Amino acid sequence: MIIVMNPKCSEREIADVKNELTRQGLGVHLSQGETFCIVGIVGDTRRIDSDNLLTFDGVDKVLKVEEPFKKANRLFKPEDTVVNVNETLVGGNNLGIMAGPCSVESEEQIIEIAKAVKESGANFLRGGAFKPRTSPYSFQGLELEGLRLLKRAKEETGLSIVTEIMSTDYIDEFVRDVDVIQVGARNMQNFDLLKQLGKTNKPILLKRGLSSTIEEWLMSAEYIMAGGNENVILCERGIRTYEGYTRNTLDLSAIPVIKKLSHLPVIVDPSHASGYWYLVEPLAKAAIAAGADGLMIEVHNDPQHALSDGQQSVKPELFDKIMQKVKVLAEMEGKSL
Ligand code: PEP
Ligand code: MN
């Protein structure tokens, strides 16, 4: 439920409404801008007497929020959330471009790729240290050594780092060393992990589950936000369909749907969405044209010998070309890097 206050209401009027809700044991989420003032109500709203709330000074309307996600709902917060990562912004008019290898493989590899993607305009370095692989016999990532190498690449380039957390085991190390903590598609509904991340104040990149609906995805964001961490960036990375020519199917409509339903930024990963390097450029362009707040792209300097996802990794030269086009499209959408 939300209470739409008169945009010109006084601090006193807001406080009275908040106090009344707190008295009833409900959580309160205030969102205020120049032209709006919304008091969101979190908790069991079934017994709320909306007629009584309408008697409070400054209250214009009391509306029921039909969707099960509340803090992630645009009704709770009409303006776009902008996530600030070491002064690099994602959301609103700011694009976040996260690029780098699927896996961190060596110091030389990660630093060379980090320098190249930075040169082309990426503002984040991605790279997996803990890898969720379908086969237990595949390369599982360099784990803590991988985190150390990412930090080295950050020292060399200044790029903020994005890397995937697989369990709560190393949460302290991630909070200390990582700038954006990625929750992968396979862990989107690992609710214990989401709850723990909700207790941190780190930006979280929440990828869409392999076969998740948009509502399930937003409910996972809600888990993180319910804990108090509102720094969530969503990432559409393709969903399972019957189509066999691509690894997944990029759900482009998820972008405008999310924009309508939620205030959270949403970026697109055309690499995992398609599974092939030649599809990355067209899908990246389509994503920006559809209103995405950024991209996550796998880039490798030697894809033939990559330890994971070489077939979908673009080389630095192609990444550079993609970035030039992305910048033009971003401008068309009123966004910049
Ligand atoms: C990744 O980004 O390396 C990854 C494993 O992605 P996803 O969780 O989307 O499959
Ligand atoms: Mn990958």
Q: What is the pLDDT of residues 267-290, one digit of tens each?
A: 999 999 999 999 999 999 999 999
Q: Which ligand is nearest to the CA of 188?
A: 1
- Could you tell me how far CA 102 lies from the centroid of its own chain? 18
Token readout for 15 is 């406080």
Atom number of ligand 1 nearest to Cα 207: 9
Q: What local confidence, expressed as pLDDT, does residue 46 receive?
A: 87
For the CA of 238, the closest atom of ligand 1 is 9
Q: Which CATH superfamily is domain 83-332 in?
A: Aldolase class I (3.20.20.70)
Q: Quick one: how far is CA 156 from the chain centroid?
A: 25
Whether 237 lines ligand 1, by a CB cut-off of 6 Å, is: yes
Fold of 2-63: Alpha-Beta Plaits (3.30.70)
Please name the residue whose Cα sits nearest to atom 6 of ligand 1. 184
- The tens digit of pLDDT for each residue in 99-147 reads 999 999 999 999 999 999 999 999 999 999 999 999 999 999 999 999 9
From the CA of 146, the nearest ligand is: 1
pTM: 0.96
Q: What pLDDT does residue 219 have?
A: 98
pLDDT value at position 43? 87
Cα 272 to ligand 1 centroid, rounded to whole Å: 7
* Cβ contact 81:45 at 8 Å: no
Ligand found nearest the CA of 248: 1
CB 270 within 8 Å of CB 264: no
Residue 128 CB less than 6 A away from ligand 1: yes
Ligand 1 atom closest to residue 132's alpha carbon, by position in its atom list = 5
**What digits encode the pLDDT tens for the residues 45-85?**
888 999 999 999 999 999 999 999 999 999 999 999 999 99
For atom 4 of ligand 1, the residue with the nearest CA is 184
In the reported structure, the alpha carbon of residue 132 is separated from the centroid of ligand 2 by a whole-number distance in angstroms of 9
Q: In this predicted model, what pLDDT tens digit does every residue of 25-48 receive, in sequence order?
A: 999 999 999 999 999 999 888 889
User: Are the C-beta atoms of 313 and 298 separated by less than 8 Å?
Assistant: yes
CA 288 – CA 324 distance, rounded (Å): 12
For tokens 């697109």, what's the residue?
268
Of 184, 82, 195, 193, nearest in space to 129 by CA: 184
In the chain, where the domains are located? 2-63, 83-332
Q: Is the CB of 102 under 6 A from ligand 1?
A: yes
